[in-house]
């Protein structure tokens, strides 16, 4: 008798398990790969973003393409130069798309056409960020940082660094200082009249390749992505000095930059 009850309980649990296991599938994701057979103009994809009218703008090994959900359309550069490829992009608060290229050139989209920004730069563009006052800041791999007036892109400004680090990433903090991720370390800089002054070199990032600096919901905290040295949380604490920096290391040994490209916006980090 006892055995029968146990058997019934066992079979009931087993039945429930099988019955509800189908409900546990939850979310399913459908992926479609666009390769050479999809008439994609190039199979090397470096950067991607969506404009406010819904099109995807894709930076590829041989230029920029627009994707309408069905077809890819190659977008011509306004000049005849070849050999460049887009590396990074930004959609600013007004919805304008900006592209930074391997040869140091920067373009923005206007009526689905690329317009070149007049910059005297030949270094590959690592990052484009939006700064205070509606300015777009362009971070090349070395020497200088450029600012572009978003509403009048013909107006550009150049800020030189006293040293020549290989710069990978940038982000403004709430006090208006610029965090710059480099091959060797993380710099906290202040933009002066025509130069960038390094205020602090944050210890602990020796040759970590700081490839991403991301703001969080908490304006005093940033996520720092490195290549080969893990993920860090950087926090600014008001106190004895304006820039007391604490950082904790999180995550594994490797952080792929793609994670950062696709994780925007970043939720608060706990």
From first CA to last CA, the distance across the chain in angstroms is 53
Among the listed ranges 16-24, 47-55, 205-213, 230-238, the one in contact with another protein (CB under 8 A) is 205-213
Cβ 256 to another protein, closest distance in Å?
A: 12
CA 84 to chain centre: 20
Q: How far is CA 201 from the centre of its chain?
A: 22
Q: Is 37 in the site for another protein (CB under 8 A)?
A: no
- Whichever of 49 and 182 has its CB closer to another protein, that residue is 182
Q: Does residue 62 touch another protein according to CB under 8 A?
A: yes
Residue 30 tokens, joined: 């459908």
User: In which region does residue 63 sit, left (phi positive, over 0), alpha (psi from -120 to 50) or beta (all else)?
Assistant: left
Candidates 35, 83, 133, 252; binder of another protein (CB under 8 A) is 83
Query: Could you tell me the smallest distance in angstroms from the CB atom of residue 31 to another protein?
Result: 20
Candidates 12, 110, 122, 241; binder of another protein (CB under 8 A) is 122
CA distance 15 to 25: 17
Strands of the chain (E only): list them. Answer: 45-50, 56-60, 63-67, 72-75, 86-91, 97-101, 106-110, 113-116, 125-130, 135-140, 144-149, 156-161, 167-172, 178-182, 186-191, 195-202, 210-215, 221-226, 231-237, 244-250
Q: Is 118 in the site for another protein (CB under 8 A)?
A: no
Q: Does 206 bind another protein (CB under 8 A)?
A: yes
34 is an interface residue for another protein by CB under 8 A: no
Q: Please tell me whether residue 183 binds another protein under the rule CB under 8 A.
A: yes
39 binds another protein (CB under 8 A): no
Query: Residue 209, interface with another protein (CB under 8 A)?
Result: yes
Selected binder of another protein within 123, 143, 233, 243 (CB under 8 A): 123
Asked if 227 is part of the footprint of another protein (rule: CB under 8 A), the reply reads: yes
Q: Is residue 47 a contact point for another protein (CB under 8 A)?
A: no
When binding is defined by CB under 8 A, the residue of 48, 92, 103, 245 that contacts another protein is 103
Q: Which of 261, 178, 155 is nearest to 212 (CA)?
A: 261
Given a contact cutoff of 8 angstroms between Cβ atoms, the answer to whether 249 and 230 are in contact is yes
Smallest distance, another protein to C-beta of residue 101, A? 10
Rule CB under 8 A: say whether 207 interacts with another protein. Answer: yes
**Quick check: 102 binds another protein (CB under 8 A)?**
yes
85 binds another protein per the rule CB under 8 A: yes
Angstrom distance (rounded) from CA 2 to CA 48: 65
Helix spans in the chain (H): 2-21, 257-262
Binding site for another protein (CB under 8 A): 44, 61-62, 83, 85, 102-103, 122-124, 141, 166, 183, 206-207, 209, 227-228
């Amino acid at each position: 008798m006892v055995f029968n009850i146990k058997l019934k309980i066992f079979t009931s649990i087993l039945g429930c398990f099988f019955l509800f296991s189908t409900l546990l599938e939850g979310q399913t994701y459908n992926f479609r790969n666009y390769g050479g057979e999809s008439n994609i103009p190039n199979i090397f994809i470096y950067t991607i973003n969506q404009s406010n009218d819904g099109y995807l703008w894709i930076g590829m090994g041989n230029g920029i393409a627009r994707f309408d959900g069905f077809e890819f359309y190659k977008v011509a550069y306004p000049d005849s130069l070849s050999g460049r490829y887009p590396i990074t992009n930004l959609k600013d608060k007004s919805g304008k798309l900006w592209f930074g290229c391997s040869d140091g050139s920067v373009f923005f989209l206007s009526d689905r056409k690329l317009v070149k920004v007049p910059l005297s730069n030949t270094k590959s563009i690592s990052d484009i960020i939006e700064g205070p006052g509606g300015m777009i800041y362009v971070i090349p791999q070395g020497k200088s940082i450029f600012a572009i007036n978003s509403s009048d892109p013909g107006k550009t400004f150049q800020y030189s660094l006293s040293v020549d680090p290989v710069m990978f990433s940038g982000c403004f903090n709430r006090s208006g200082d610029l965090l710059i991720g480099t091959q060797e370390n993380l710099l906290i800089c202040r933009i002066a009249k025509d130069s960038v002054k390094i205020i602090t070199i944050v210890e602990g990032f020796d040759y970590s390749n700081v490839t991403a600096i991301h703001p969080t919901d908490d304006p005093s905290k940033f996520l720092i992505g490195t290549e080969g040295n893990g993920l860090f949380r950087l926090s600014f604490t008001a106190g004895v000095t304006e820039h007391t920096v604490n950082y904790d290391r999180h995550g594994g040994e490797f952080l792929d930059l793609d994670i950062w490209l696709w994780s925007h916006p970043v939720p608060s980090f706990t």
